[in-house]
Amino acid sequence: MKYLLTILITIFIVLPLGTFANGTVFGLADKSLGIVQIPYSASGQSRSFELADDDSLHLNYLNPAMWSRLTLTTFSVDAQYRASFASSQYGEDPFRDYANFQGGIVAFPIIRKRLSFGFGLQPVTSMEHAVQDTSRDEGKDFLLIKGGISRALLNLSVNFLGHFGLGLAYEYNFGKVTDRFILEIADFTTNNITFAYEYRFFGHSAAASAYMQFFDNAFTLGALYRTPVLLKAEVVGKSISTVINQGKMVDLTLPAQYNAGVKIRFSDRFSLGGDVIYQDWEKGFTIEDVPNQGFHKKYLRIGGGLEYTASRKRFTDYINQMDWRLGGFYAQQNQTSNGAIINEYGISAGLSLPLQRFRSRIDLSAIVGKRGDLSKTFYEETFFMFGISVVGNELWFINIEE
C-alpha cells in the first residue's frame, strides 16, 4: 500500500502544472473550443496507434479495457513540448511553443488479470492565439484567445477468459477558454482598456471500451465509445462595463466519439497496427440544443505504424532491451478555416528506454507534421511535438537485492 501512496503523491505533485494543451492558431472561430486533442501516450504517439496495444507494462490511454490484464499497480505520467511555425494570409508568421504536463493515469488490480480500477487526467481540446492590429494611428488593438478542455476519468475494467475485456468509465470534463481584447490608445496615460470573456466549462460523460484477442494473441481488436459530453458553460465578463461583466450559464453538448483499432503481431518482437477515430462535430456540437454548424465539421483521424519490441531473453545487451517505433497519421480537424476543411498529417517515431527491466521505463516520441493549406485556409502550420512518458509499476519501489 505504501507504494500506491507514493505513486499517488507523485501524480498530485505534478497536477498543478495543468492539463490544458495549447499552441495552435487554428480553432479560433466564434464559440470554438479549439481543435481536438487525442490523448495518446508517448508510445502511442510514436507509432500512431494505441487502441489495440496490449503492452503489459504500459497503460493504454485510449482503451482502458486493457487495464483488466494488470497484475501490479501501474502508473504513467506524460509531458510534452510543442512548437509550431505558422504562415498567414494576413502576412503574419506567428511562432508559438509550450511545454507542460499532458496527463497521467494510475491503475491497480483488484483481482489480478481479472478486475482493475484506474483513474487519470487527459486533454480534450486546445487553442492559443494572439493578434495585434497596428493599423490605427491612435493606438493598437490586441486579441488574445487561450484555453481548452480536459477530462478526469474513473474506470473499472474486467477480463473474461483472458482474451476478452470490457471497461466502463465515468468522466468529468472541465476547463476554460479566455477571450481578451485590449485597446491601447495613444497618449492615454491611464491603464489600457480591456474587455474579456472567460468561459468556464464543467460537465459529464461516460465511456465503454473493449478488446478481443485471437490466434494466441497474434491478432487484437480494440474499441471505445464515448457518450456525448454534457457541459455547462459559465460565461464571466471582466471589463470596465457592468453589462459585459454580467455572468450567465449556457448548456453545451460535445459529440459522441467512436474509436476502433487493430494490432497484428508477426513475431515475439515485431508488430503493426492502426487506429480510426471519428466524431461528428457538425451535428453533435450544440449550444442550447441548437447545432452550431457552419465552421464545425466531422473529425476523423487515421493512424498506423509498426513496433519492434525488446527481447525477452534474460541476458541481453541494452540495445535489445529497447522498443523502437515508427508511424504516420492523417486527420481532418473538427472545424474549418476560411470555409475550408483543416487537414493535418505527419510522421512519428520513438523508442523506450528501460530504467529497471520489466518494472519501469521512459517512452520518448517525436512528431513532425503540417496543419492547414495556405491556398485554402487562413493559416498553415508546421508543427513539432516531443513527448515523454514515465511508466512503472510497484516493483519499481522494491529493492530485490534486499
- In the block, residue with C-alpha cell 504516420: 328
What cell numbers appear for 113 in the block? 488479470
In a domain, 286, yes or no: yes
Q: Determine the structural domain holding residue 41 and report its residue range.
A: 2-397
CATH code of the domain covering residue 148:
2.40.160.60
pLDDT value at position 244?
A: 57
List residues bridging with 341 in a β-sheet.
336
Task: List the Cα angle 313/314/318 in 5-degree steps.
Answer: 80
**pLDDT tens-digit profile, the chain (402 residues):** 444 444 444 444 444 333 333 456 665 555 677 778 888 999 999 999 999 999 877 789 999 999 999 998 999 998 888 888 888 877 667 777 777 778 889 999 999 999 999 999 988 877 666 555 544 455 455 556 777 788 999 999 999 988 999 999 999 999 888 776 666 655 555 556 666 778 888 999 999 999 999 998 899 999 999 999 999 988 777 666 565 566 678 898 999 999 999 999 999 899 999 999 999 999 999 988 888 766 888 999 999 999 999 887 777 888 888 999 999 999 999 888 888 889 999 999 999 999 887 778 899 999 999 998 888 888 889 999 999 999 888 766 555 554
Amino acid type, 209:
S
In a domain, 402, yes or no: no
In a domain, 66, yes or no: yes
Q: According to the 3-state scheme, what is the secondary structure of the chain?
A: CHHHHHHHHHHHHHHHHCCCCCCCCCCCCCCCCCEECCCCCHHHHHHCCCCCCCCCCCCCCCCHHHHHHCCCCEEEEEEEEEEEEEEECCCCCCEEEEEEEEEEEEEEEEECCCEEEEEEEEEEEEEEEEEEECCCCCEEEEEEEEEEEEEEEEEEEEEECCCEEEEEEEEEEEEEEEEEEEEEECCCCCCCEEEEEEEEEEEEEEEEEEEEEECCCCEEEEEEEECCEEEEEEEEEECCCCCCCCCEEEEEEECCEEEEEEEEECCCCEEEEEEEEEEEHHHHCEECCEECCCCECEEEEEEEEEEECCCCCCCCCCHHHCEEEEEEEEEEEEEEECCEEEEEEEEEEEEEEEEECCCEEEEEEEEEEEECCCCCCCEEEEEEEEEEEEEEEHHHHCCCCC
Amino acid type, 351:
L
pLDDT value at position 19?
A: 37
In a domain, 142, yes or no: yes
In a domain, 68, yes or no: yes
Q: How far apart are CA 81 and CA 332, in angstroms?
A: 22
Q: How far apart are CA 397 and CA 393, in angstroms?
A: 8
Exposure of 32 in the CB half-sphere (CA atoms within 13 A): 27
Exposure of 303 in the CB half-sphere (CA atoms within 13 A): 30
Task: List the Cα angle 125/295/84 in 5-degree steps.
Answer: 45
pLDDT value at position 13?
A: 41
On whether the CB atoms of residues 199 and 177 are closer than 8 A, the answer is: yes
- The number of beta carbons lying within 10 Å of the beta carbon of residue 261 is 26
Task: Estimate to the nearest angstrom the gap between the alpha carbon of 188 and the chain centroid.
Answer: 43
pLDDT value at position 395?
A: 66
Exposure of 290 in the CB half-sphere (CA atoms within 13 A): 6
Number of domains in the chain: 1
